Amino acid sequence: MPLSKETILHISRLVKLDLTAGRQGAEAETEIAGFTGRMNLLVEYLDILKQADTDGVEPLYSPMSRTAPPAPDEPDKNYATAADALARREQMLKNAPEQANGFFVVPKIL
């Protein structure tokens, strides 16, 4: 069942997605029509997948089926004084591969 333009606009409002993003008139309608077409292709593909016979197919193994034990919920030391805070910063930075002015140095990502 194809999705109508109204359904697409309703869904976009629910997820707070601006399909027109500053476009007006015919340009906005073209964008909405294109998005509607892409969503209908996705729905058609899902309908094809629904037709697959999965009877007797065992679930795949997932390494995430086991959960890690929770860490103990213990309060951290209270570093109330400036000297304590400075000592903690130095302790954290001593294992940093690179540091400058009391901060970690990380590569720029553009």
Quote the pLDDT of residue 66. Answer: 66
pLDDT digit of tens for each residue in the chain (110 aa)? 789 999 999 999 999 988 888 888 999 899 999 999 999 999 999 999 999 998 988 887 766 666 777 888 877 666 667 788 888 888 888 888 898 988 889 888 87
Lookup: tokens for 73: 């919920």
Render the burial of 9-19: b for 16+ CB within 10 Å, e for the rest: beebeeeeeeb
pTM higher than 0.75, yes or no? no
Q: Is 46 exposed, middle or buried (0-12, 13-18, 19+ CB in 10 A)?
A: exposed
Domain spans of the chain, in order of start: 5-50
Distance between first and last Cα of the chain: 43
For residue 85, what is the enclosing H or E element?
helix 82-93
Ramachandran category for residue 54: left, alpha or beta (phi over 0 → left; psi -120 to 50 → alpha): alpha
Query: What separation in angstroms does the CA of 16 have from each of 10, 88, 107?
Result: 10, 43, 34
- Decide: helix, strand or coil at residue 104: strand
